[in-house]
Amino acid sequence: MAPPILSLALPSETGRVLSIQSHTVQGYVGNKSAVFPLQLLGYDVDPIMSVQFSNHTGYPTFKGQVLNGKQLWELIEGLEANNLLYYTHLLTGYIGSVSFLDTVLEVVSKLRSINPALTYVCDPVMGDEGKLYVPEELVSVYREKVVPVASMLTPNQFEAEKLTGFRISSEQDGREACRRLHAAGPSKVVITSIYIDGTLFLIGSHQKEKGQSPVQFKIVIPKIPAYFTGTGDLMTALLLGWSNKYPNNLEKAAELAVSSLQAVLSRTLKDYEKAGYDPQTSSLEIRLIQSQDDIRDPEIKFNYQLYD
């Protein structure tokens, strides 16, 4: 008789996460950026690699394989055949095709048939700064099918605009975009980066009961003069991790997530400078392993401000 799966027989207080994201052999993006932080925060994490590349696509070249929807479903069937499909959370990031996204929706449905309380945390990665980097047809699938089944959404400003069809050019607009997303499905929304009039900030919104006015807040974030890879993947993982520990206090969870992320970026910048590299030359790989204390026990340096 096979021994029990201890993460099922003796589940952690935090949860068991299925994370469907990209994987790179070298560097920290996708699952490489999300799994380790969640494990540090006490979660059992089972990663499925939507792609396996040698390195991220910002390098001059990359090699590797892409998982298709049929192959994803085979993995789910394998888990189900062995009664291994009980998860408390599903986490998804970059998805490059409609067929794969459609299969992810089937995965959501399957996981909820086993655990109706499943929390689905979705980073709807579509683009940034006015540019799409996924096929246009993915936008409508996210808007019409994914948003309604998500528990928490973590879009950036551009993605929130795409999902709502609403232009964000002020804080009030950001808050309204969150309200529109609540109306479509998720109870928790964090627009992870909004840049208006030279200020970078995050807006979070938690609608605790359907039809209620959401609790909304902002956190002002310093704009670092460098470009990092894997930061969105890390931020969403941290929001999942901390919001589950503080289920009724999204603002506290966001403070902890932002403070961790900023500590990682600050260390990354210093280390590149120490190595004699100009950090403004190209995208930087985050120093995740070296920052584990800041992930596990962040010092809160970035505070939320509640809106009236």
Single out the catalytic residue among 233, 278, 293, 297: 233
Q: Is 271 a catalytic residue?
A: no
Contact 286, 28 (CB under 8 A): yes
Query: Assign residue 114 a region: left if phi > 0, alpha if psi is -120 to 50, beta otherwise?
Result: alpha
Which amino acid, residue 258? V
Using DSSP bridges, classify how beta strands 284-285 and 228-229 pair: parallel, antiparallel or unpaired: parallel
Which amino acid, residue 127? G
Judged on CB neighbours under 10 Å (0-12, 13-18, 19+), 136 is exposed
Q: What's the DSSP call for residue 260?
A: H
CA-to-CA distance for 49 and 19, rounded, in angstroms?
A: 8
Q: Is the dihedral of CA 143, 111, 17, 217 positive or negative?
A: positive
CA-to-CA distance for 85 and 106, rounded, in angstroms?
A: 13
Helix (H, G, I), strand (E, B) or coil at 153: strand
Instruction: Give the residue numbers marked as catalytic.
Output: 233
